[in-house]
Structure 1
């Protein structure tokens, strides 16, 4: 085999390995998302680029305040994955009253929201293996207050890092 064919074969091997590695990383470890809506304002801006942890979050409990990526429920009317903040955990009672979100009767301190909710949500207990998720832009988010609880199996990952725009690069904490 001449040197030209040998070099071409090596290049094809490198590209094949890179594609397989990329597939494994994106399928099982990390993924990226571009935020298409303002439902998480002011925490996440329109068109922010995010890295989503798809593996490590499975080894710890989901906590209140976590920002998660999930497949939408049928009732949501959405087709693409959504990004929201976990507000209620399994077994907790959730209510929205007078502009406050109450968990087990206690109002949450929510410094991250754009505006207080302008809707009411009667008290309801979150079933096992489900969560109550809301966008930080409470008045402009298609979330649990509209379509109900999020089953745990729909959650595909936890938002880990915002990488664009670069001036806001960093970890997104609860």
Structure 2
């Protein structure tokens, strides 16, 4: 027969074990979530009107585990000129693409883009970029005020942190981020080259 004191000790042991299991499970869930998603605060105007200064976005860090980044995706990446800084831009070109600009237009593989997401059509100079393997060409939606691939070149695949999927704060700006697949649907794919301009 178990005495009252022994029952109390057993209850405490079970309670302590239950608490440790809950803490361990919470820690595992927290770490798994941090590996899969991360939140970022937008701190510039380069993605207006899609993203506004001060908004918080959710970034899916596992989005490209089973398929490559696609044209139209809004991504967070390490800035190639200083990898300690993270930027957020829209993918315009993927490996193998040829991007051409004049003062107000963008072509991808010879197809003129009709871009409903941009604030204003603007490019500082006319230029052509040929993307090599694992190279991505990104631009901000606020073309007159965006420091992007037009200025400093391509983003290597391994610099991409993840895909921005939604704005979650402030609550009145909550939205799923549109990738505008119809804009890029008719662009022919080109096999990647090993070098880029």
- Partner residue, 1:145: 150
> How far does residue 10 in structure 1 lie from its aligned partner after superposition?
4.8
> How far does residue 5 in structure 1 lie from its aligned partner after superposition?
8.5
> How far does residue 124 in structure 1 lie from its aligned partner after superposition?
2.0
Q: Deviations over 1:85-110 (max 9, x none)?
A: 00011111112202111212332111
Count of residues in correspondence between the two structures: 171
Which whole-Å CA distance do the structure 2 matches of 1:78 and 1:61 have between them? Answer: 21
Unpaired segments of 5 or more residues in structure 1? none
- Partner residue, 1:18: 26
Aligned mate of 1:162, from 163, 167, 177: 167
Which whole-Å CA distance do the structure 2 matches of 1:44 and 1:9 have between them? Answer: 46
Aligned mate of 1:64, from 53, 68, 71: 71
Q: Deviations over 1:52-76 (max 9, x none)?
A: 1111332223221111111221x2x
1:119 is the counterpart of 2:119? no
Aligned mate of 1:30, from 4, 25, 37: 37
Which whole-Å CA distance do the structure 2 matches of 1:53 and 1:82 have between them? Answer: 15
CA 1:168/1:3 → structure 2, altered by over 3 Å: closer, same or farther?
A: same
SS of residue matched to 2:70: coil
Which whole-Å CA distance do the structure 2 matches of 1:154 and 1:121 have between them? Answer: 26
The list of structure 1 runs, each at least 4 consecutive aligned residues, that deviate by more than 6 angstroms after superposition, is 2-6
Report the structure, 1 or 2, having the larger strand content. 1
| RMSD of equivalent CA atoms | 2.1
Unpaired segments of 5 or more residues in structure 2? 1-8, 180-197
- Partner residue, 2:58: 51
Alignment TM-score, normalising by the size of structure 2: 0.77
